[in-house]
């Protein structure tokens, strides 16, 4: 089947975004274009900072709005949009260590005094916002050195949306998978030609015309595999499979959205901030991310591909209900997930209830 010109354009856009994300992970320079102008950026986390900073009289950095807030820089930009990234300029010579101390909140205790910096209005806010999203998709700290070009990988700010487009997801494999909770289970694999992340669904029990019990489970390597006591993910996963087995049938969507969409390494950074006393919400914001960066459109698309339009959703998170309904899935009922707290996750569960509206 031939793609329509629109589909072809989306693929080209997704490819440019994928190349840019790959470049960022390797520490290469990217150019982000919006409104006819290119913003050339070197990722602080992976880039060769020493050679980029050498002999510079001035160095400009692009950091997230919430990082700028922590550094008390937002008030310098009185009229600024509080969600816009911020450009700061330092007088040279500047060392790699100084730059890292500015962008990495985990080091704040070690380097409490920073600055003075000048923050400036962005001349390409659309490109700057897209750069923050590219860093998140790459699982990197959202911080860049603004450099001179030309960059080999040029991405349009609008390409990020094509990369994250859940309609590109297709079902690619299907097999029986007996699991401990239920020997009658089937696994379905999903992938997309836009983004390299694979997702899976486990259909538990005998499918019929009744509404299935569905659980959207976001990947948590520490909880699901290592049995971390910091969160409730592992017990929730197993309790969900048990509840599905007790119902007529159920569907577990295992979404590869580690750390609520910020990636494994950034989640571990959030844990390091939690070790310093910040809660899960503040930790995400200090890193420069949204409290929850997940896109539940992916789950809705997986349900659509499985031919499921109505669900009974196992969750305490109202955002999951709204996220699915916005994408046309009817949530007939919300079933609470009750997990006994332990001394290590009590504060985390309280934070979810008090700050992110989780019901219990």
Ligand X SMILES: Nc1nc2c(ncn2[C@@H]2O[C@H](COP(=O)(O)OP(=O)(O)OP(=O)(O)O)[C@@H](O)[C@H]2O)c(=O)[nH]1
**What are the catalytic residues?**
292, 294
Binding-site partner at residue 351 among Zn ion, ligand X, none, CB < 5 to 8 Å by type: none
159 contacts ligand X (rule: CB under 6 A): no
User: Taking Cα atoms as reference points, which of 254, 266, 274, 325 lies closest to residue 293?
Assistant: 266
Q: Which of 16, 33, 129, 358 binds ligand X (CB under 6 A)?
A: 358
Tell me if 246 is assigned to a ligand binding site: no
Tell me if 280 is assigned to a ligand binding site: yes
241 contacts ligand X (rule: CB under 6 A): no
316 contacts ligand X (rule: CB under 6 A): yes
Q: Which of 233, 299, 302, 324 binds ligand X (CB under 6 A)?
A: 233
> What is the C-alpha separation between 360 and 339, in angstroms, rounded?
10
- Tell me whether residue 42 or residue 270 sits nearer to Zn ion (CB atom): 270
259 contacts ligand X (rule: CB under 6 A): yes
Tell me if 260 is assigned to a ligand binding site: yes
- Smallest separation (angstroms) from ligand X to the CB of 283: 6
- Smallest separation (angstroms) from ligand X to the CB of 358: 6
DSSP 146-160: E-----SEEEETTHH
User: Taking Cα atoms as reference points, which of 203, 254, 249 lies closest to residue 225?
Assistant: 254
Give me 336's structure tokens. 């609470």
Q: In what order do the strands lie in the sheet with 213-218?
A: 169-176, 185-192, 199-205, 249-255, 213-218, 310-314, 330-335
Rounded CA Rg of the chain: 22
280 contacts ligand X (rule: CB under 6 A): yes
Binding-site partner at residue 64 among Zn ion, ligand X, none, CB < 5 to 8 Å by type: none
Are 170 and 191 in contact, with CB atoms under 8 Å apart? yes
Binding-site partner at residue 52 among ligand X, Zn ion, none, CB < 5 to 8 Å by type: none
220 contacts Zn ion (rule: CB under 5 A): yes
> What is the C-alpha separation between 135 and 133, in angstroms, rounded?
5
- Tell me whether residue 26 or residue 344 sits nearer to Zn ion (CB atom): 344
Tell me if 216 is assigned to a ligand binding site: yes
Could you say which DSSP state residue 203 is in?
Answer: E
Tell me if 95 is assigned to a ligand binding site: no
User: Taking Cα atoms as reference points, which of 23, 43, 252, 48 lies closest to residue 152?
Assistant: 23
233 contacts Zn ion (rule: CB under 5 A): yes
User: Taking Cα atoms as reference points, which of 248, 256, 287 lies closest to residue 270?
Assistant: 287
312 contacts ligand X (rule: CB under 6 A): no
Could you say which DSSP state residue 67 is in?
Answer: H
Task: Provide the 3-class DSSP secondary structure of residue 217.
Answer: strand
> What is the C-alpha separation between 41 and 228, in angstroms, rounded?
36
Identify which range of 100-108, 158-166, 224-232, 292-300 contacts Zn ion by CB under 5 A.
224-232
Q: Which of 52, 236, 245, 285 binds ligand X (CB under 6 A)?
A: 236
Neighbours of 42 (CB within 10 A): 23
Are 159 and 139 in contact, with CB atoms under 8 Å apart? no
What residues from 202 to 231 belong to the interface with ligand X (CB under 6 A)? 217-220, 231
- Tell me whether residue 49 or residue 329 sits nearer to ligand X (CB atom): 329
Q: Which of 73, 102, 126, 231 binds Zn ion (CB under 5 A)?
A: 231
137 contacts ligand X (rule: CB under 6 A): no
223 contacts Zn ion (rule: CB under 5 A): yes
Residue numbers at the binding site for ligand X (CB under 6 A): 217-220, 231, 233, 236, 257-260, 262, 267, 270, 280, 284, 315-317, 320, 337, 352, 358
Residue numbers at the binding site for Zn ion (CB under 5 A): 220, 223, 231, 233
């Amino acid at each position: 089947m031939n793609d329509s010109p629109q589909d072809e354009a989306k693929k080209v856009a997704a490819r440019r975004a994928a190349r840019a994300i790959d470049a960022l992970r390797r520490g290469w320079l990217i150019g982000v274009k919006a409104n006819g102008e290119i913003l050339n950026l070197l990722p602080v986390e992976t880039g060769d900072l020493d050679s980029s900073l050498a002999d510079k009289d001035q160095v400009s950095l692009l950091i997230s709005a919430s990082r700028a807030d922590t550094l008390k820089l937002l008030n310098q930009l009185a009229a600024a949009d509080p969600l816009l990234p911020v450009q700061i300029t330092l007088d040279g010579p500047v060392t790699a260590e100084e730059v890292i101390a500015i962008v990495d909140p985990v080091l704040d205790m070690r380097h409490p005094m920073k600055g003075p910096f000048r923050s400036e209005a962005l001349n390409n806010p659309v490109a700057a916002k897209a750069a923050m999203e590219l860093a998140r998709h790459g699982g990197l700290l959202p911080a860049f050195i603004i450099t001179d070009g030309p960059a080999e990988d040029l991405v349009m700010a609008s390409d990020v949306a094509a990369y994250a487009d859940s309609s590109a997801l297709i079902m690619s494999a299907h097999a029986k998978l007996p699991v401990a909770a239920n020997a009658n289970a089937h696994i379905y694999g999903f992938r997309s030609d836009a983004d390299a992340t694979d997702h899976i669904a486990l259909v538990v029990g005998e499918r019929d015309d009744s509404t299935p019990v569905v659980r959207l489970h976001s990947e948590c390597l520490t909880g699901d595999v290592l049995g971390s006591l910091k969160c409730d993910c592992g017990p929730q996963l197993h309790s969900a499979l048990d509840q599905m087995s007790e119902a007529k049938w159920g569907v577990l969507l295992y979404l590869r959205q580690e750390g609520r969409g910020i990636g494994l390494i950034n989640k571990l950074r959030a844990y390091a901030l939690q070790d310093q006393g910040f809660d899960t919400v503040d930790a995400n914001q200090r890193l420069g991310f949204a409290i929850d960066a997940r896109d539940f459109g992916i789950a809705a698309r997986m349900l659509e591909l499985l031919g499921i339009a109505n669900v009974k959703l196992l969750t305490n998170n109202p955002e999951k209900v709204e996220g699915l309904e916005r994408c046309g899935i009817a949530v007939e009922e919300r079933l609470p997930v009750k997990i006994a707290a332990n001394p290590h996750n009590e504060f985390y569960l309280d934070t979810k209830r008090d700050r992110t509206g989780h019901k219990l």
